[in-house]
A and B are shown apart, each in its own frame.
Chain A
């Protein structure tokens, strides 16, 4: 995930009705109302029982997903930010000049130096979104 993708998710989240959403009404007539506590009923979820792919279990699971979506996206984006900030802090602590210096010193006899230089590259790769 790139920083741009994360920003896009955060912007989309901020454009939605502010949560957390609540689901307080009992199931009734195949419908469910969820939404912000101060505007209950803004989200209307019909239960299409005629479709065999949409079972009552699937319906309930979808209601749970919708009701928790606003808070979950908030929690998840904050956690991604927190972890990225930490990696950035590690990356920053190496510093541009220091990293270049380390890379010049890489050699078979300098195991620790080489490892730290490799770490610098790995942390930068992580921040770019590469797999480990």
Chain B
């Protein structure tokens, strides 16, 4: 994964309707089945993903504010749960990748050269192979290689 791909995913999340999102079974006062027969009211069998919008600044006090926003509907339960959670999971995964990359960058480009430079020759010889192994592995990770 390239830094550009990560930024693109992050941008999509930042521009979407703010979270948190939640999900629940859709309810309807009246609805029909596929054959057009009335099924009365109650749960539709489909799930909805929704959020509550905050009242905007300057919204007239005497005007009703509808804060419920349906993000998506006609979903099965598993997909509704996935979409609702994805709103926060995707930014969390982006943060986690950056955190791991920061560590690997430290290993690949930070301490190893310093350690090799400041250690005495005996120490360098002793740990040279091990340190280079770390450096090589971390560098591979940062290039996007598979271990």
**B residues near A111, Cβ cutoff 8 Å:** 115, 118-119, 123
User: What are the interface flags for B65-79 relative to A under an 8 Å C-beta threshold, 1 for contact and 0 otherwise?
Assistant: 010011111111011
Q: How large is the interface on A (under 10, 10 to 19, 20 to 34, 35 or more residues)?
A: 35 or more
Residue B36 CB within 8 A of the other chain: no
Cβ of A17 and Cβ of B130 under 8 Å apart? no
Q: Do most interface residues of chain A lie in helix, strand or loop, or is the interface mixed?
A: helix
Cβ of B101 and Cβ of A83 under 8 Å apart? yes
When chains A and B are docked, how far (Å) is the Cα of A35 from the Cα of B75? 10
Binding site for A on B (CB under 8 A): 1, 5, 9, 12-13, 15-17, 53-54, 56, 66, 69-76, 78-79, 81-83, 85-87, 89-90, 92-97, 99-104, 106-107, 111, 114-116, 118-120, 123-124, 126-127, 130-131, 133-134, 137-138, 140-141, 146-147
**A residues near B116, Cβ cutoff 8 Å:** 112
Cβ of A83 and Cβ of B13 under 8 Å apart? no
Binding site for B on A (CB under 8 A): 1, 5-6, 9, 12-13, 15-17, 41-46, 48, 50-54, 57-58, 61-62, 64-66, 68-70, 72-73, 75-77, 79-80, 82-87, 89-90, 93, 110-113, 115-116, 118-119, 122-123, 126, 131-132
